[in-house]
Amino acid sequence: MLIGDNVVASIHYTLTNNAGEVLDSSEGAAPLNYLHGAGNIIPGLENALTGKAVGSSLQVTIAPAEGYGEVMEQLIDTVPMAAFQGVESVEPGMAFEARQADGSARRIVVTRVEGDQVTVDANHPLAGVELNFDVEVVAVRAATDEEIQHGHAH
């Protein structure tokens, strides 16, 4: 069976950046199971896996547009320290959940603190990063009706 829409694929992978730093890996863990065609993984990797079979190995480089997107400047903002009420010390690298006007939550990361001004970034941590995947397909099977309805592998 080949990987295509409504198929559950299991893959082992190692993700690196262009400097060769490992960003994520399934090494030493269970393979990643996902429902192909349901948007469970980034588009560039899903496209590269289409048509592959068990035993296939591939190395693929994914541009930001097909990964986590480009850095969107409108998601970087400077807010007053008062916005962090109840937090003793705000420092670069700290992550918070911020409520949007519509009530939804967005993850923000502090990138700079200058006096009483804090710069925060709501971009995905891998936005703007070219991603290098080393992937091995370890299983492929038809998705169940329930998996298709739910939009993910069980």
Domain ranges of the chain: 7-68+126-150, 73-121
Predicted TM-score (pTM) of this structure = 0.84
CB-facing half-sphere around the CA of 33: CA atoms within 13 A: 13
Do you know the residue count of the chain? 154
The 10s digit of each residue's pLDDT in 93-106 is 999 998 888 888 88
Q: Which CATH architecture has domain 7-68+126-150?
A: Roll (3.10)
Neighbours of 43 (CB within 10 A): 12
Task: Select 73-121's CATH number: 2.40.10.330, 2.40.128.30, 3.90.1330.10, 2.60.370.10.
Answer: 2.40.10.330
* Residue 148: predicted pLDDT: 96
